[in-house]
């Protein structure tokens, strides 16, 4: 277990500089987000260091799950650090290509790939993991017309069970993902698929993510390795070239400690799936949250404070639009809240129980309920750590709330902070330009002149 040195002090240092440079302003920029590119580099190094090289693993490709943070400059940073990219939609594939990932380092996973999407991926040479027998048949029909350089695998649902968050558990008996390995007849049907399709050379599995213990994840991989051995026994050595073990390393949201680590997970893999390290298989990983979560935070001004039923409430500019999972499922996705003064200095002293509310127009729009924090006042700042994945990068456009600016952060040896714009803030007054209501619509047939729908 490792802690990021002085993580809280680093956030405060970045926050003060962001206020000083006007990146946070109570009138013009009341909400902004930050991605620590130095932290991203350190995390990627830790990932590469955790997995052995040859002869144990003939080749390892670490791909980043684009859904965790699909902002172009973030993806480009990861590509520069030697990562590949795992995509789950045509939109994510387009972003990965635009960010510069070579097709050979992109993995396309989705349970609902259209024929057109498969044609595009296969023409580019992108790796494809089929999610069902029907998808394998569709790929076979496409390859009969046009061969492809793509590596092709099949996703297994190893049905080893779920973790504490049902929505994040993808290896339950009834999960929508993959071919359920323990269902009657499926193992034999998969073997027939390997016999029929010489281009089917990879096995893929992913047990789940947040809320899934490491031993459960490793047992899922063990099932995939065992099946790969069964294919090898039936069809000879090298019939399975590699195993995509997915991602899913959970993140500690309780404090700044980085736990579990990638090395912890590799230890569990060695214990449960030792054949993975026997030198037979290439390996692909698909980590997302564990790469970015702790390398990002967002900051919002407190606009108003009030009291209801004796409990103080701080109304801020960060809510459901940037913390959707936490707002709608607070028990599964609790976030830390830190209190700062208007200039970015951490507040200390006594604490009071208070709610931290967002700007959206429904009662449940709360970042935290009954949380002990130093008393907040209008003009103070709240910081929400551990939000580099799945939060500000994936906004929810409720109430037509605009997307906040996102800034990349680097700090030199002298402590000087350099910001680069990752995503510009949306101007709420220009949102209509995107959806056509900026121009008057024609009146429906029969409507009085001058009236439009």
pLDDT in tens, 10-29: 999 999 999 999 999 999 99
How does residue 433 score in pLDDT terms, banded at 50, 70 and 90? confident
Quick one: tokens of 354? 């208070």
pTM, entire model:
0.94
Residue 116 placed within a domain: yes
Is residue 1's pLDDT more than 90?
no
Are 159 and 243 in a shared domain? yes
How does residue 366 score in pLDDT terms, banded at 50, 70 and 90? very high
- What is residue 451's predicted lDDT score, i.e. its pLDDT? 41
* CATH number of the domain residue 315 falls in: 2.40.37.10
Are 110 and 241 in a shared domain? yes
Cβ(404)–Cβ(33) below 8 Å: yes
447 or 381: which leads in pLDDT: 381
Are 203 and 324 in a shared domain? no
What is the per-residue pLDDT across 57-87, written as a single tens digit (0 to 9) for each?
999 999 999 999 999 999 999 999 999 999 9
Is residue 359's pLDDT more than 70?
yes
- What is residue 367's predicted lDDT score, i.e. its pLDDT? 98
* CATH number of the domain residue 237 falls in: 3.20.20.10
Containing domain of residue 403, as a range?
2-35+294-433
452 or 157: which leads in pLDDT: 157
Residue 440 placed within a domain: no
Q: Which residues pair with 62 in a beta bridge?
A: 285
Average pLDDT over residues 323-346: 97
How does residue 440 score in pLDDT terms, banded at 50, 70 and 90? low
- What is residue 432's predicted lDDT score, i.e. its pLDDT? 86
Last residue of a domain, one of 253, 287, 321: 287
Are 270 and 313 in a shared domain? no
- What is residue 333's predicted lDDT score, i.e. its pLDDT? 96
What is the per-residue pLDDT across 135-194, written as a single tens digit (0 to 9) for each?
999 999 999 999 999 999 999 999 889 999 998 989 898 999 999 999 999 999 999 999
Residue 447 placed within a domain: no
Are 74 and 222 in a shared domain? yes
Last residue of a domain, one of 229, 264, 287: 287
Q: How many domains does the chain have?
A: 2
Are 57 and 30 in a shared domain? no
Residue 449 placed within a domain: no
- What is residue 334's predicted lDDT score, i.e. its pLDDT? 97
Are 83 and 140 in a shared domain? yes
Residue 446 placed within a domain: no
Are 396 and 423 in a shared domain? yes
Average pLDDT over residues 367-383: 98
Residue 361 placed within a domain: yes
Are 259 and 388 in a shared domain? no
- What is residue 438's predicted lDDT score, i.e. its pLDDT? 58
Are 208 and 331 in a shared domain? no
Residue 201 placed within a domain: yes
Residue 46 placed within a domain: no
Are 279 and 307 in a shared domain? no
Is residue 212's pLDDT more than 70?
yes
Last residue of a domain, one of 235, 252, 287: 287
Cβ(107)–Cβ(129) below 8 Å: yes
How does residue 4 score in pLDDT terms, banded at 50, 70 and 90? very low
- What is residue 453's predicted lDDT score, i.e. its pLDDT? 36
- What is residue 450's predicted lDDT score, i.e. its pLDDT? 47
Are 60 and 205 in a shared domain? yes
């Amino acid at each position: 277990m490792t802690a990021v040195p002085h993580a809280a002090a680093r956030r405060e240092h970045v926050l003060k500089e962001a206020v000083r440079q006007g990146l946070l302003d109570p009138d013009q920029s009341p909400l902004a987000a930050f991605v620590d590119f130095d932290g991203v580099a350190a995390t990627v190094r830790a990932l590469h260091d955790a997995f052995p090289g040859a002869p144990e693993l003939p080749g390892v490709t670490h791909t980043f799950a684009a859904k965790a943070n699909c902002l172009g400059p973030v993806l480009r940073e990861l590509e520069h650090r030697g990562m590949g990219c795992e995509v789950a939609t045509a939109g994510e594939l387009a972003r990965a290509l635009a960010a510069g990932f070579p097709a050979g380092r992109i993995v396309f996973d989705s349970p609902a790939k259209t024929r057109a999407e498969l044609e595009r991926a296969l023409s580019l040479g992108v790796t494809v993991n089929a999610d069902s027998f029907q998808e394998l048949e569709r790929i076979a029909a496409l390859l009969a017309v046009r061969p492809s350089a793509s590596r092709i695998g099949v996703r297994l649902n190893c049905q080893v069970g779920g973790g504490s968050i049902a929505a994040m558990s993808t290896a339950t008996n009834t999960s929508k993902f993959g071919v359920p390995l323990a269902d009657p007849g499926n193992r034999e049907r998969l073997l027939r698929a390997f016999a029929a399709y010489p281009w089917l050379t990879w096995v893929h599995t992913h047990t789940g993510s947040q809320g899934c213990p490491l031993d459960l994840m490793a047992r899922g991989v063990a099932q995939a390795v065992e099946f790969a051995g069964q294919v090898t026994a039936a069809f000879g050595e090298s019939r399975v070239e590699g195993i995509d073990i997915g991602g899913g390393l959970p993140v500690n949201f309780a404090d700044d400690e980085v736990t579990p680590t990638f090395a912890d997970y590799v230890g569990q893999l060695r214990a449960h799936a030792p054949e993975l390290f026997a030198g037979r298989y290439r390996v692909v990983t698909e980590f997302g949250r564990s790469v970015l979560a702790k390398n990002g935070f967002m900051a919002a001004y407190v606009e108003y404070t009030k009291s209801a039923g004796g409990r103080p409430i701080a109304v801020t500019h960060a809510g459901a639009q940037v913390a959707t999972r936490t707002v709608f499922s607070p028990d599964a996705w609790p976030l830390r809240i830190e209190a700062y003064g208007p200039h970015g200095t951490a507040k200390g002293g006594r604490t009071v129980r208070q709610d931290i509310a967002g700007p959206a127009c429904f009662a449940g729009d709360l970042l935290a309920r009954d949380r002990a924090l130093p008393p907040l006042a209008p003009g103070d700042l709240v910081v929400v750590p551990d939000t580099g994945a799945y939060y500000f990068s994936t906004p929810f456009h409720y109430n037509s709330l605009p997307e906040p600016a996102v800034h990349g952060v680097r700090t030199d040896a002298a402590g000087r902070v350099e910001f680069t714009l990752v995503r510009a803030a949306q101007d709420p007054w220009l949102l209509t330009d995107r959806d056509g209501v900026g121009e008057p619509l024609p009146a429906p047939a029969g409507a009085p002149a001058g009236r439009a729908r």
